[in-house]
Amino acid sequence: MDAMGSEMLENTCLADNVNMAFLISIAFIENIFRMLMLSKNLSYEEVVRSATAKRLGINNTPNARQISVLKSMAKGLFQPLRDYFGVPIFISSGFRCKELNEVISGSSKTSHHMILRDICAIDIDQDAISSPVSNADIFYYIKDNLDYHTLIWEHGDDKNPGWVHVSFSKDSKKNKRANTLRAVRKSLKTHYMPFKNENIA
C-alpha cells in the first residue's frame, strides 16, 4: 500500500472513531437525562416516555429550554399535587416533540405538549394505575387549590373524567385559572365548553 493509501485508511479510521465517540456521547447524555429528577417525585423519564415514540423510533427528547419549562411545572403544579395526595400520580402523556405530535391522531398543531413557548402540558390518568385517588379528585384539587394555565375535564362521565389535561406556564402571570373546560364528544367531534359545577351531576 502506498503512502496515499495509508493516509486515506488512517483518515477513515479516525473518522470512524470520531463518529463512534459522538454516538457514545449522545447515548451518555440521554442516559443522564433519564436519571434526571424534575422535582422530588417526578422524573424526566415519566414526562418524555411514549409507547408511540418507541414503536416508531422517534427521538422524543426535549431541549434545554423545554426542560426548564417542565421543571417549572413539576415544582409549581405536579409536586404540590403529589404531596397533597401522597400517592403516585400517573402521567399518561407529557412532552411530545413535533414529530411525535404529528403522528398522534387528533393532536393540535399548537399543542402545549410540544412546549412551543413557555407553556407545557401533561395528561393525568389515575384509572390507569388503579389508584385510590380518582381523576375527579385530581381535577377538583387542581381547580380549587393550584395555579394553572388550562385545566380540562376530558370526556368520561359526570362523575369522573376519562383523564385530566392540565397546562402550566413558566410565566406565573399566565397561570390564572382562566381556562377551565370540559371536553365532550358530539357528532364524532370533540367540543370544549366552560366547566361549571352544575355541569356535573
pLDDT, one tens digit per residue, over 19-63 is 665 555 555 455 555 558 999 999 999 999 999 999 999 999 999
**Cα separation of 162 and 147, whole Å?**
22
**Cα separation of 69 and 64, whole Å?**
9
> The CATH number of 36-199 is which of 3.30.1380.10, 3.90.1150.10, 3.40.50.2300, 3.50.50.60?
3.30.1380.10
Would you state the pLDDT for residue 201? 45
The answer to whether 50 touches 96, Cβ cutoff 8 Å, is: yes
pLDDT, one tens digit per residue, over 166-179 is 999 999 999 998 79
Specify the pTM: 0.80
pLDDT, one tens digit per residue, over 104-132 is 977 788 899 999 999 999 999 999 998 99
Q: Would you place residue 136 in the very low, low, confident or very high pLDDT band (cuts 50, 70, 90)?
A: very high
**Cα separation of 74 and 80, whole Å?**
9
Decide if pLDDT at 11 tops 60.
Answer: no
* Residue 167: its H or E element: strand 163-169
The length of the chain, given as a count of residues = 201
